[in-house]
Amino acid sequence: MIAHIKLDDRLSILREEDRFRRWDSLDDQRVCILCEREFNGRQVQIRRFANGRCGLRCPTEGCNSEPYYWVYPGALLISGVTEPSWWRAAAKQPTRRTAEITPQARGHRV
């Protein structure tokens, strides 16, 4: 159930339920990495469950992302530091070692 919550309570819920990023005010901006929408704390959908807990959802219709998928505007999603030839290392096939039969293992059940 989507709850209609007073603004003061809304900020408290955002701070409590978003364990990944800090909310200083309801005007703080976030970007959903799934739907790419930018929104603020006033727009976040807050759902209240029967057990009293609340859940946060992206305000975009059809997007069910939670705070884990929200980043600060302008935040890099990948590291800017990489080896220039990282793709060569990723393309190399690991070498396989062939099992050697040792004199002790011959004739014995393994």
Provide the 3-class DSSP secondary structure of residue 54.
Answer: strand
Rounded to 10 degrees, the C-alpha dihedral 18/20/24/30 comes to: -90
- Burial of 30 from C-beta contacts in 10 A (0-12 / 13-18 / 19+): buried
- pLDDT score recorded for residue 4: 73
- Residue found by looking up tokens 């469950």 in the block: 49
Whether the model pTM is above 0.75? no
Residues of the chain below pLDDT 70 = 1-3, 77-110
- pLDDT score recorded for residue 75: 82
- pLDDT score recorded for residue 21: 95
- pLDDT score recorded for residue 108: 58
Beta strands in the chain (DSSP E): 29-32, 38-40, 45-48, 54-57, 70-71
